[in-house]
Amino acid sequence: MTDHPHMNCEALLGSLSEYIDGELSPDLCHELEKHLAGCENCRVVLNTTQRTIDLVQAPVESVPVPEDVRERLFKRLNLDDYLKPKA
């Protein structure tokens, strides 16, 4: 990784999450992007971190609660009479 007069690799790493989430101030974004333009390793870290988050989020995880688990839950809560199938 390289040193940069305004932002070094360590500082970039500290702001990486907020940059990905679009929560970094425009000034810091600009500094970070200037650093990225000249630092290949940081570009790889950004791209692979972004990809890691994409992989976790897509496809949207939709593990349903198994029906027998739901039945036992309703029974434990004494809600048996509301145990009709989910709409």
Partner 1 sequence: MVNPTAQEPSLERLRAGDRAEFARLVDAYSAPIYRLGLRMLGNAQDAEDVLQNTFMSALTHLSEFEGRSSVATWLYRIAANEALMSIRRKRPEVHIEDLQTGDPEADLTPASFADWSSLPEDELLSEEGRKYLDLAIASLPETLRLVFIMRDIEGLSIKETADALGLTETNVKTRLLRARLHLRERLSTYYGERLIREEKND
Contacts with partner 1 by CB under 8 A lie at: 10, 13-14, 16-18, 20, 23, 40-41, 44-45, 47-53, 55-59, 61-66, 69-70, 72-74, 76-77, 79, 82, 86
Q: Is the Cβ of residue 16 or residue 29 nearer to partner 1 in the bound state?
A: 16
State the Cα–Cα distance between residues 64 and 59, nearest whole angstrom: 14
And the tokens for 41? 């390793």
Our CB check for partner 1 shows the closer of 6 and 65 to be 65
Nearest-10 Cα torsion for 6, 10, 12, 14: -130
Residue 24 DSSP one-character state: S
Q: C-beta of 30: minimal distance to partner 1 in Å?
A: 20
